[in-house]
Every structure is written in C-alpha cells, then in structure tokens.
Structure 1
Amino acid sequence: MPVSAYNATQVERLREIGRYLQQVREERQLSLEEVSARTRIQTRLLRALEAGDVAELPEPIYVQGFLRQYATLLELPDLDLSELDLAPRLTKTAPVRGEVGSPLRPFHLYVTYFALILGAIAVLSYVLRPSNSSHSVAPAPSPTSVTPTPATPSPPVAVSPSPQVTPKPTELRVHVELTGQSWLQVVADGQVVFEGILNPGATETWTAKQTLVLAAGNAGEVRVRVNEGAPQPLGKPGEVKEVTLTLANPTLPTPPQ
C-alpha cells in the first residue's frame, strides 16, 4: 500500500499504536505466531502493524479492522482509534444524465393532429352532401334455398405449455454464518450497516435495494448465502477479501478450489 494513502498524522498515530500493541503483547509473553493463530491475521501483517509500516499494509479500512481485532485479543477495549480515521468516505453517486427525461411533445405531433382534424371534416362533409342524381332501386333478389355443406372438423392443435418465468428478486438478501472468528464490514446501498468482529457460530442477515458490499479479514471462515442460493465461503482462510453484490448480478464469485 503506497504511503500516500495515509496522511502524516495517521502514519505517526499508527506507529504509536503499533508500538503500544507490541509492548502489551511482549508483556503477556505472546508471540506473533500465537496472535496470528487466534486472530487469523497473517504474521507479516501483524509485524507491519506493530512497526507502522504502511507500505506493507492493505487498504486503510482493513487496517482499522485489524487494529480492533488485535486490541480485542489483548483486552484493550479503551484503545482510542478515532484519530486514525481510516474508514472510507462514502460518497453518493450522481445520477446519470439522461436516465429520466421530461416528457416533450414534438412539433410533428401537432402537425399530425391538425391533419387528422382536417381529414375528419372532409369525410363528414362528403357523407352529409345531398345526392343530385336519382337512381332506380333494383329489387332485392329472391332467396334461394342452399343446402349447407357439412364442415369437416379440424384436427385439434396441440398447445405447448408456456414456460414458467421465475420472478426477478426485488432486493438483495444476504445471510452470513461464521465458522471461525473474522472481522467483517457490511455496506448496504452506500451505508455502513455493520462493522466488527464476529465469533464462530454467529449468524447475521442483511438486505439492500441495489448494492451490498461485504469485506472480511478472514474470508475463509465467512459462509455467505445470497437470496435463495447455496451457502459458500467468501474466500480462502486468512484471506482479506471484498465482494460487491448488485441486484442485477446477485451472485458470489466462483468458490476457490
């Protein structure tokens, strides 16, 4: 991650927090490997957190979650992370110009209406005009008896059943089940609806109208089911992963082999 992703104040505060976490860890005689096994954060990322080496760290939003997960393990609930302010800024997407247009009445429609009115007047004048020529009315022909010919019945036409159309979903419904501990963030329609650490066995459900973004620090322990689909892991064990689901494409990526 380039240093430019953090400002100078964030880098200095991150290094202070990293030194403090390292000091507490060593006082409690915990190795980086033990912390990694209990938090599912890779050892190299823990080392970078303690050193404040932002060049080796992922996106700031993941760093914020790792620090909280690390502080929870060391039982430091009062650790102040507010000065870091690493959470992403949520911006509203401007509407695309031309999606909704105001109804306009083209000029040629008025011309068409005027022509139709003139035509109607001309037809009405022709119908109401009196006839000048007299014509003798021919007598109606006498009816003749006609023997009806029996109709040959048509063979029945086979009608194929219409295929059943599956209704399209009107919202995204995501069910999450944790098989191991993981940090998780959920953004529904541009709003953060959850951010924290979930323990094994925890289950949660979120809904969204258009988009839903899932970000996990330990994707292999997060099983996700979208709408009525089958549950599948969000990624590999220990993997930091983010997935965006939309109403038009509510499917997860292909599970890792």
Structure 2
Amino acid sequence: MIDDQTVNAFEAATGCGARLAQARQAAGLTLEAVGQQLHMPVQVLKSLEAEQWERLGAPVFVRGQLRSYARLLKIDLGDVLDQAQIGPVVPPQLVSHTHTPRARRIAESLGRRVLYVGITAVLAVPVWFATRGHFDGSADSPNTASLDVIPAAMPVAGGPAPTATPEAAPVAAVAAAPSAPYLASLTPVPRPATTAPAPAGAMELQFKGDSWVDIAAPDGSTVEKALIKSGETRSFNPGQVGRMVLGNASAVEVQQAGTIVDLSPYQRANVARFTVSSDGSVAPVPH
C-alpha cells in the first residue's frame, strides 16, 4: 500500500518520469512486471521514466502511455503532465485535393473527342479514296465488246467496218475510242433463232439440250463451231453444209425436208458424225 507520506514524496518529485519510477519502486514492481501488465516493452518503460520523449514517437502516444502507467500505479500526475515538455497534440491538417473547374473538365472532354475524330478521319479517308473506284460507275470505266461483233460506232483500223454475219470468224482487234475504250470479251454472242420458213430441201436442227457442234462447208471451211444452248434452232440451205459433228446427239433433232433423220446409225458415245450431200441426203463419215 502507498501511504500519504509516500504520495507526498511523489509530489515532491520534479518530473513525470521521476514520479513514475518512485511509485513503481514503492509498490515493489519491476519494469518487467509493469511491462507484462501494460503490454509495453521494457525499453518503452525505461524511456518514460527517463523522460526521453523523442524515442517514443508522436506526443499523443507518449501522453497516453504516461496516463496508462500512472493509472496502474494509482497516482495522479496532475499539472506535472501538462508542464512536461512533450509537445502539444496537434490535430492533423487536412489538405484539400486540387479542384478542377467544370469548364476545364468540359474542355478536356471535348479535346479528347476531337482527337478521336481526327485520328479516325486520318485512317478512314485514305481507305475510302482507295476503294471508291470499285463502287462508282464513273464515265472512265472501260466498255466491253465481244470479239464476235464489231460495234457500229467503232471503225476497224485501216478500213471501213465490215458487217458482222453469223458465219464470220471472230475479229481479233478493234480500234478503241479515246473517251471510252472497249475491252475484248470472250463471252459469245448468242445467235438469234431462225424465224423465217426453211426453203425446200433445207436441213433444220432443233436443240432440246445443250450441244457442242462442229459444222463444215463442202469446201472444208467452218460454218459454225460452238456450244449451242437448249431451245435454239439452226437451218441450212442445200449445198451449204458438207459435214456435221453433233455432241449430245440424243438432244438434237435433225429434219431433212420436214422428215426427221435417224441419227443412231451415225452416233457413237452420244456423238453423231455424218456428211450431207448437195441434195441434203445424210451419209456416214468415210473412214
């Protein structure tokens, strides 16, 4: 127990640390025992009794440790604690963050959008110019013309334009107009179906399916050599044709003077080969 004389002796001590050390010794406590009760390291207790405040951190912590120590020893530091040169407890200063004005935020947002639009334009405009020629039907686009027909407005170099006939051979070159050049096309021009009545003794071919034909004149020149589509017809006068080769012969009906010609004697592997005399009669091709 701490008597009144001991308390007076504590009050006679000059500092907080000296009063705490004297009260601990009077209570018969060691630094280790006090440290276990207060959960403080022994070095902290020694610094408190020696008043080495700079080793204990912030003033607010030092004052709290002194009050806990005095509460354990049941002494009142009173005005001595206020007079101790621990340093005032200064509340933390609040530092406001930089405030961005609303006008500046709007300007920065618009600037980012303008930059995005500019980058998009730089990338998109060259692509648009590079690809527009594939979609625009400009006047500079070249025209096309079949090699089988010479356009009426296009003169052949070196002479007048010849009249195209069904028996004419394909023309190899056509003079190009400066403003709209023509390009050669390999697409065959379909021949119109024969509408005029066939003359007496004529041979008529009706195609009920696609058929490849090779028709030659009596002198061996080519009359027609092409793929004829289903639904078309051909008519030849007597003496105009000397030999015929008909592919897909089962889909071709041959009539001579209005009589259907049986092609089975001249047919092999669905290809019919036969000769035509001057009077229109049909005979096998001589081997």
TM-score by length of 2: 0.28
TM-score by length of 1: 0.31
